[in-house]
Homo-oligomer: A and B are copies of this chain.
Amino acid sequence: MTELLLINPNTTQSITDLVLKHARTFAAKGTTLRAVTGAFGPRYVASRIGYAIAGHAAVDALANDRGKKDAVVLACFGDPGLAALKEVSAVPVVGMADASILQACAMGKKFSIVTGGERWKPMLEEFVASHGLASRLASVRTVAPTGADIARNPKAAMALLARGCNACATDGADVVILGGAGLAGLAAKLKSQVDVPLLDGVACAISMAEALAGQNLVRMGTQPAPVESIGLSKGLAKLIG
């Protein structure tokens, strides 16, 4: 029995619900899922400034969660706050983008990412590079609608996304990741229109979390030396204080 906590630092409950619904379809038998939504910040992260806020919202969400969990999934593709969550968590923390690029590396030599929202392109290029995987990246391609737009009206984006995915094949990608909380579940619908294997970011995150939880790892994150703070939520102040 594996219990996973999903943290959605995009502050939109319907996106949390969407991710959770699709996550359940990918989860193994015996996995249970819970999800929490960020308490503050933009409704959907689509810029660096939104990303900076979401990093705080993600650690705040973890600090205030009292439930049992065997692993945590950070359900915002781009993974704001991932390093901070890992620092303090006693169980594995899996980022949606991080899990996806690693599983893509298990599939082929070069991968691409397709997601919604134009400011994500340089952000994800830097994310991949900072994880040491720039030499494995074929391309990042974004479509104009953000993940939130796509979540509201997925049909309108299908042709655009298929075109983006196929363009990645000409960029040299052996495999393409469809990333973004708002795009949960679209990979299965697109795969017949795309010339290379297509990974679903949510599926990657769930299976990676199950994989790590299944190893019963010990000696994980530890609290830093306590420090006073101001203006934080009770849970977060207590976590660091």
What is A's interface to B at a CB cutoff of 8 Å? 11, 26, 28-30, 39-44, 46-53, 55-59, 80-81, 83-84, 86-88, 92, 94, 98-99, 102-103, 105-109, 119, 122, 126, 129-136, 146, 187-188, 191-192, 194-200, 203-204, 207-208, 210-212, 214-220, 224-225, 227-232, 236, 239-240
Contact = CB atoms under 8 A, between A and B. Distances in A.
Nearest to A213: B207
A133 B52 CA distance: 23
Given A28-B28, A49-B59, A239-B49, A103 B211 contact: yes
A151 B19 CA distance: 43
A99 to B, nearest CB: 6
How many identical chains are in the complex?
A: 6
A80 B81 CA distance: 12
A191 B11 CA distance: 39
B26 A28 contact: no
Contacts of A51: 84
Given A52-B84, A87-B49, A229-B40, A197 B211 contact: no
Nearest to A130: B130
Contacts of A109: 122, 126
A232 B41 contact: yes
A8 to B, nearest CB: 13
A150 to B, nearest CB: 14
Nearest to A172: B122
Given A42-B229, A131-B136, A211-B211, 7 more contacts: A26-B215, A40-B231, A49-B84, A102-B105, A103-B211, A129-B130, A207-B207
